[in-house]
């Protein structure tokens, strides 16, 4: 316990030591962060203030937008602040908190995307039973399962990280606290813990990948029998989610673009909500 208390804070090496590069990165990330909040808030308000919230697809889209906001806020504000500082320091407690919240909201986001893939599978492969299968209780069950999945994933990594003893160097070669950089600093043999980390993230990633691929293979098989027009309409709702699974890892800013620019219902809802005089009058009165 004494060894572990030798390190009370960590120094983040960040992205670059060049001041000009850091300023350029700050401007870029500030733009991205503002775009993330603007785009996802538009989705949340547009869906929540319209009838789209009763449809499973948009219910999950609303949840995805919220998880995007929380997920990016666990890293980006600290990253932007550190870009303006010469010495980037984070306390041990804040480091562990960032590790937990990043994987928690990141895990929730990935599980929600999996739920959205299941929703599209039911809508395309079982259209006559869609309303019955994707009822309100089922939607909330999927959302609860997403939260539980994210919690188990992040809690597992968090427990592995807090047992690590730190008694030597405290420089993390990264711009935020994550498990792998911390393993390099631990003054103990981390081989077994590293295997647990790989098992935690690997099994979750593999399981989600199998579910996604299975759902889309079944969807592709089903739409193969559709007419050309119906096939295009069905597939247009699925491609976005496959691309989003990868893009959200890089930057959640792309989510609003993917889900609004190619979705007529979403664009119509945005127009109705944001161009509604009563909506703005109600906001001003508040």
What does the H/E/C string look like for 198-218?
Answer: HHHHHHHHHHHHHHHHHHHHH
Question: Do strands 89-91 and 9-12 pair parallel, antiparallel, or not at all (unpaired)?
Answer: antiparallel
Report how far residue 120's alpha carbon sits from residue 243's, in angstroms, rounded to the nearest whole number. 15
Report how far residue 6's alpha carbon sits from residue 43's, in angstroms, rounded to the nearest whole number. 46
Task: Kindly state the percentage of the chain with pLDDT values over 70.
Answer: 72
Report how far residue 280's alpha carbon sits from residue 286's, in angstroms, rounded to the nearest whole number. 10
DSSP of 57-113: HHHHHHHHHHHHHHHHHTTHHHHHHHHT-SS-EEEHHHHHHHHHHHHHHHHHHHHHH
Residue 230 in this model has a pLDDT that exceeds 60: no
Q: Give the domain extent around 71.
A: 9-225
| Sign of the Cα pseudo-torsion (28, 30, 33, 34, in order) | negative
Average pLDDT, stretch 251-278?
66
Residue 62 in this model has a pLDDT that exceeds 80: yes
> Is residue 280 included in any domain, yes or no?
no
Indicate which CATH number applies to the domain containing 196: 1.20.1070.10
Q: Are 120 and 142 in contact (CB under 8 A)?
A: no
| Sign of the Cα pseudo-torsion (62, 36, 82, 165, in order) | positive
What mean pLDDT, rounded, does the chain reach?
Answer: 78
Report how far residue 219's alpha carbon sits from residue 235's, in angstroms, rounded to the nearest whole number. 8
> Is residue 119 included in any domain, yes or no?
yes
Residue 64 in this model has a pLDDT that exceeds 80: yes
Q: Are 63 and 55 in contact (CB under 8 A)?
A: no
Task: Dump pLDDT digits (tens) for 114-131.
Answer: 888 888 888 888 888 888
In 3-state terms, what secondary structure has residue 38?
helix
Total count of domains within the chain: 1
In 3-state terms, what secondary structure has residue 171?
strand
Task: Dump pLDDT digits (tens) for 243-259.
Answer: 433 433 344 666 666 66
Specify whether the backbone of 14 is left (phi greater than 0), alpha (psi in -120 to 50) or beta.
left
> Is residue 284 included in any domain, yes or no?
no
Report how far residue 101's alpha carbon sits from residue 269's, in angstroms, rounded to the nearest whole number. 32
pLDDT at 22: 86
In 3-state terms, what secondary structure has residue 138?
helix
> Is residue 159 included in any domain, yes or no?
yes
> Is residue 116 included in any domain, yes or no?
yes
Average pLDDT, stretch 163-176?
83
At residue 104 the predicted structure's pLDDT band, cuts being 50, 70 and 90, is: very high
> Is residue 101 included in any domain, yes or no?
yes
> Is residue 117 included in any domain, yes or no?
yes
Task: Dump pLDDT digits (tens) for 10-30.
Answer: 888 877 778 888 898 889 888
Residue 242 in this model has a pLDDT that exceeds 50: no
pLDDT at 105: 92
Report how far residue 38's alpha carbon sits from residue 175's, in angstroms, rounded to the nearest whole number. 24
Report how far residue 155's alpha carbon sits from residue 168's, in angstroms, rounded to the nearest whole number. 25
Report how far residue 234's alpha carbon sits from residue 223's, in angstroms, rounded to the nearest whole number. 7
> Is residue 255 included in any domain, yes or no?
no
pLDDT at 233: 52
């Amino acid at each position: 316990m004494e060894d572990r208390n030798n390190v009370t804070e960590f120094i983040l090496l960040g992205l670059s030591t060049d001041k000009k590069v850091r300023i350029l990165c700050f401007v870029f990330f500030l733009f991205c962060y503002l775009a993330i909040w603007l785009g996802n808030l538009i989705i949340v308000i547009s869906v929540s203030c319209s009838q789209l919230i009763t449809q499973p697809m948009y219910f999950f889209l609303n949840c995805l937008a919220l998880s995007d906001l929380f997920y990016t806020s666990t890293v980006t504000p600290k990253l932007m602040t550190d870009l303006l500082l010469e010495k980037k320091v984070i306390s041990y407690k804040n480091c562990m908190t960032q590790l937990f919240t990043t994987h928690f909201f990141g895990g929730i986001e990935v599980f929600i995307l999996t739920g959205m893939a299941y929703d599209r599978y039911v809508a395309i492969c079982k259209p006559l039973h869609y309303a019955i299968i994707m009822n309100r209780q089922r939607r909330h069950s999927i959302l609860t399962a997403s939260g539980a999945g994210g919690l188990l994933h992040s809690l597992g990594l968090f427990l592995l990280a807090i047992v690590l003893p730190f008694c030597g160097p405290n420089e993390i070669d990264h711009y935020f606290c994550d498990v792998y950089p911390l393993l390099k600093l631990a003054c103990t043999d981390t081989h077994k813990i590293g295997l647990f980390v790989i098992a935690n993230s690997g099994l979750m990633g593999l399981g989600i990948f199998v579910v996604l691929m299975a759902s889309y293979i079944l969807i592709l098989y089903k739409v193969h029998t559709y007419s050309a027009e119906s096939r295009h309409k069905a597939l247009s709702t699925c491609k976005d989610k496959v691309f989003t699974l990868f893009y959200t890892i890089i930057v959640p800013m792309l989510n609003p673009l993917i889900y609004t620019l190619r979705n007529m219902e979403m664009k119509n809802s945005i127009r109705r909500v944001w161009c509604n005089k009563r909506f703005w009058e109600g906001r001003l009165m508040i």
